[in-house]
A and B are shown apart, each in its own frame.
Chain A
Amino acid sequence: MAYSEKVIDHYNNPKNVGTLDKASKNVGTGLVGAPECGDVMRLQIEVDDATGVITDAKFKTFGCGSAIASSSLATEWLKGKTVDQAVQIDNMDLVEELNLPPVKIHCSVLAEDAIKAAINDYRKKNGLEELVFEEKIH
């Protein structure tokens, strides 16, 4: 199976690899997946309290090239969006942008889950109710 140009590009030059201070009140952390399943993503957002805008996003991913590309692209998309806008990111947008084949759709679902988990972690830290999301099939 050949990878798309975009997946290869994100794999070779991943955007926003790194770690934010997970103890900070402004940082939301989402850790999804499982080592046994072959992919684990950690996605973090840093939010400006006053504006609700995501000022920074970082990821680390254990997984295949498509999983790395999905999380790398997700962090790019998150930066500059408000938290409310970020909630709207759909896994199929990632699939389309990266030309993921059907067998790799679960990588994009995982990235969407990571975004939502990071947002909920941020909301919880700031005394907001956690959002309830419809579960997607991996």
Chain B
Amino acid sequence: MLKLPIYLDNNATTPMDPRVLEAMLPYFTEHFGNAASRNHPFGWEAEEAVDYAREQVAKLIGADPKEIIFTSGATEGDNLGIKGVFEMYASKGNHIITCTTEHKAVLDTCKHIERLGGEVTYLNVNAEGLIDLKELEAAIKPTTILLAIMYANNEIGVIQPVKEISAIARKHGVLFFTDGTQAVGKIPVDVNKDGIDIMAFSGHKMYGPKGVGALYVRRKNPRVKVTAQMDGGGHERGMRSGTLNVPGIVGFGKSCELARLEMAEDAARLSKLRDKLETALLQLEEAYVNGSREHRLPHVSNISFKYVEGEGLMMGFNKNIALSSGSACTSASLEPSYVLKALGLGDDLAHSSLRFGLGRFTTEEQIDYTIKAVSDTVLKLREMSPLWEMFKEGIDLNSIEWAHH
């Protein structure tokens, strides 16, 4: 029996794996100690659990456990990684290079740095959502201290050429920070093979708990340091003060272990389901995939259905299927997705997009249901769309003088 509603918004957050919950439970009640309490068994137990989780997290990304700084999530990691480098390396320079499709946690951090007197270059992406490596290299100058380019994008799933980016960073003696939130646990990420110096990621995007994440900070070749952004007890090698969220960290560790063991299988299964969904939906006229299909996470698809509006479209099935849209109407700002606009999509196509994010618990039955529900609603709304009628009559919509408001 198909259970409704269906959850296809796994880029926003994932359900926690029951195995993760099981690992966490004793650390709320029985083993409740403060990991910083060095003088009694309650503290020792907590510290031991944190150390074990640190190993699990490190192993997933090929790091040393000492290189893992626990945080409250990727937003904190982005802030600590970027602001921390900006402060720590102030004597070396003040220039950061990032790109226009980054998550707001990176973009707004960069804006903050500009207000502090830093200089930021925002690289454009091409129609596929990828940065141009030549442009990246040309943007580096003597004052450049950091490249901040995401591993994979949250809206379109497009994977940036991380190895090539890190090679450029090395060549010019610049640090490379990446927001790995959408990629870690979903595709193989290895900080050494990928040449990553600093990376933020979080638990709740990979079937772990919310409110916990990590910042990877390289200790060798080169040894990287970030200035703490919060003052306090000097936890996490002085880079992140605050009593450790022991149950959260235990759960995060478990989710990393499960991801490491099951990633390949999950990815293979989900890419098949994603392709089935995409192929079926592209049977509809005037439907387009946004972003590169080649360099993309296996579980993500972002599709624009021309001449229907995203929020109106979702209303047709949002009681039964949870999705996201790049439409303006889903956000308070009334601006359509800046990521889709950065790909060169017109506002009209950005308004018409849906993001499908599959996950570990997505079934084929759910995908079949989704194909039918989305297709039916697109057809129904096109019957109701004046733009579709004009398109069918051969009227060029660009020839009409629209009243912008």
B309 within 8 A of A: yes
Tell me, in angstroms, the Cα distance from A64 to B400 when the chains sit together: 21
Q: Specify the chain B residue showing the minimal Cβ separation from A61.
A: B384
A41 within 8 A of B: yes
Interchain CB contact (< 8 A) of B309 among A19, A38, A106: A38
Tell me, in angstroms, the Cα distance from A67 to B351 when the chains sit together: 14
Tell me, in angstroms, the Cα distance from A67 to B381 when the chains sit together: 12
Query: What B residues does A60 contact at CB under 8 A?
Result: 384-386, 389
Q: Are B404 and A63 in contact (CB under 8 A)?
A: no
Tell me, in angstroms, the Cα distance from A32 to B351 when the chains sit together: 17
B41 within 8 A of A: no
Query: What A residues does B327 contact at CB under 8 A?
Result: 38, 64
Q: Are A35 and B405 in contact (CB under 8 A)?
A: no
Smallest beta-carbon distance B381→chain A, Å? 8
Q: Are B389 and A38 in contact (CB under 8 A)?
A: no
Interchain CB contact (< 8 A) of B308 among A33, A37, A62, A113: A62
Which residues, 278 to 337 on B, are CB-close (under 8 Å) to A? 307-309, 311-312, 315-316, 327-329, 332, 334, 336
Known contacts A64-B312, A64-B315, A68-B312; A35/B385 CB under 8 A? no
Q: Are B402 and A40 in contact (CB under 8 A)?
A: yes
Q: Are B405 and A138 in contact (CB under 8 A)?
A: yes
Q: Are A62 and B307 in contact (CB under 8 A)?
A: yes
Q: Are B384 and A37 in contact (CB under 8 A)?
A: no
Most B CB contacts (10 A, CB to CB) among A32, A35, A60 go to: A35
Which residues, 365 to 383 on B, are CB-close (under 8 Å) to A? 383
Interface of A, helix, strand, loop or mixed by DSSP: mixed
Q: Are B384 and A38 in contact (CB under 8 A)?
A: no
Q: Interface 1/0s, chain A 1-41, versus B by CB < 8 A?
A: 00100001001001001010000000000011111111111
Which residues, 336 to 356 on B, are CB-close (under 8 Å) to A? 336, 346-348, 351
Smallest beta-carbon distance B160→chain A, Å? 28
Query: What B residues does A19 contact at CB under 8 A?
Result: 389
Q: Specify the chain B residue showing the minimal Cβ separation from A68.
A: B312
Most B CB contacts (10 A, CB to CB) among A17, A19, A37 go to: A37
Known contacts A36-B348, A65-B312; A41/B404 CB under 8 A? no
A103 within 8 A of B: yes
Query: What B residues does A3 contact at CB under 8 A?
Result: 315
B387 within 8 A of A: yes
Most A CB contacts (10 A, CB to CB) among B383, B386, B400, B404 go to: B386
> For chain B, which range describes its interface: under 10, 10 to 19, 20 to 34, or 35 or more residues?
20 to 34
Q: Are B309 and A63 in contact (CB under 8 A)?
A: yes
Tell me, in angstroms, the Cα distance from A34 to B383 when the chains sit together: 18
Tell me, in angstroms, the Cα distance from A38 to B402 when the chains sit together: 12
B1 within 8 A of A: no
Q: Are A62 and B403 in contact (CB under 8 A)?
A: no
Query: What B residues does A68 contact at CB under 8 A?
Result: 312, 384
Smallest beta-carbon distance A14→chain B, Å? 6
Interchain CB contact (< 8 A) of A35 among B315, B383, B387: B387
Known contacts A14-B384, A61-B385, A65-B312; A34/B332 CB under 8 A? no
Tell me, in angstroms, the Cα distance from A14 to B400 when the chains sit together: 26
Most A CB contacts (10 A, CB to CB) among B316, B348, B405 go to: B405
B397 within 8 A of A: yes
Q: Are A62 and B402 in contact (CB under 8 A)?
A: no
Q: Are B312 and A67 in contact (CB under 8 A)?
A: yes
Q: Specify the chain A residue showing the minimal Cβ separation from B308.
A: A62
Tell me, in angstroms, the Cα distance from A113 to B405 when the chains sit together: 11
Most A CB contacts (10 A, CB to CB) among B329, B346, B347, B397 go to: B329
Q: Interface 1/0s, chain B 393-405, versus A by CB < 8 A?
A: 0000100101111
Query: What B residues does A110 contact at CB under 8 A?
Result: 405
Q: Are B403 and A33 in contact (CB under 8 A)?
A: yes
Tell me, in angstroms, the Cα distance from A106 to B386 when the chains sit together: 19
Query: What A residues does B388 contact at CB under 8 A?
Result: 62
Q: Specify the chain B residue showing the minimal Cβ separation from A14.
A: B384
Known contacts A63-B312, A68-B312; A35/B397 CB under 8 A? yes
13 A-B residue pairings within 8 Å (CB atoms): A11-B316, A36-B346, A36-B402, A37-B328, A38-B311, A42-B386, A60-B385, A60-B386, A62-B388, A64-B309, A64-B315, A64-B329, A67-B312
A sample of 7 more A-B contacts (CB under 8 A), given A11-B316, A60-B386, A64-B329, is A33-B402, A33-B403, A34-B403, A38-B309, A42-B386, A60-B389, A65-B312
Nearest 4 A/B pairs, CB to CB: A34-B402, A35-B348, A36-B347, A42-B386
B: residues with CB less than 8 A from A are 307-309, 311-312, 315-316, 327-329, 332, 334, 336, 346-348, 351, 383-389, 397, 400, 402-405
A: residues with CB less than 8 A from B are 3, 8, 11, 14, 17, 19, 31-42, 60-65, 67-68, 103, 106, 110, 113, 138
